[in-house]
Amino acid sequence: MTLTQEQLLASHKANLETLFGLTNKAFEGVEKLVELNVAASRAALNEASTHAQAVLSAKDVQQLLALQASQFQPLAEKAVAYSRHLYDIASGTGAEFGKAFESQAAEMQRNFSNFVDTAVKNAPAGTENSVAVFKSAVSAANNAFESVQKAVKQASDAAEANFTAMANNASRQTATAVAAAQATQGGKR
């Protein structure tokens, strides 16, 4: 089976469209990352200014220590939120790349299956056993590829669940530690 000029051009056009589509998705991810970092930097600067003013207006050491202790939990919560946003951006961009890969792989699989079907139809008489072995090998390869895709999806889902659990746990532990620190400070007054 030979490819015609039109088929080659269509293939190249599809590949270019995929390339430009993925490049746009990558830029969208970078834009979101830049927006997140600018927003986080702006918020951190404003909070630092407000905190500095509050520190300078503290009347005694106890008030200063209480002010410092009150900053831990919001800071930890903001760090967790930033990590979640960062993860969402990365996983969203990765998912777009995964969809494109799956689409391309499915298209290649269809084209290869069509090629195999054409080759089988045009196989010379007496090669039925060879054709059956070849079709079996192609079927096994397709099944293996689908199994790998499913395993990657499951691993990705597990990683996302672990990240969410870890972030929630860190937030709870920080809240507990801050409450304990504030209780200790309250007892010293």
pLDDT tens digits for range 12-55: 888 888 889 889 999 999 999 999 999 999 999 999 899 899 88
With respect to residue 42, please indicate whether it lies within any of the assigned structural domains: yes
Confirm whether pTM is higher than 0.85. Answer: no
| Number of structural domains in the chain | 1
With respect to residue 21, please indicate whether it lies within any of the assigned structural domains: yes
Tell me which amino acid residue 177 is: A
With respect to residue 138, please indicate whether it lies within any of the assigned structural domains: yes
With respect to residue 183, please indicate whether it lies within any of the assigned structural domains: yes
With respect to residue 96, please indicate whether it lies within any of the assigned structural domains: yes
With respect to residue 101, please indicate whether it lies within any of the assigned structural domains: yes
CB contact at 8 A, 67 and 55:
yes
Q: How far is CA 149 from CA 42, 97, 114, 161, in A?
A: 41, 14, 22, 18
With respect to residue 88, please indicate whether it lies within any of the assigned structural domains: yes
With respect to residue 126, please indicate whether it lies within any of the assigned structural domains: no
Q: Could you list the residue range(s) of the whole structural domain that residue 184 is in? A: 5-121+131-188
Q: Output the six-digit token pair for 38.
A: 């600018």
**Per residue in 134-173, pLDDT tens?**
778 878 887 887 888 788 778 877 877 887 787 777 777 7
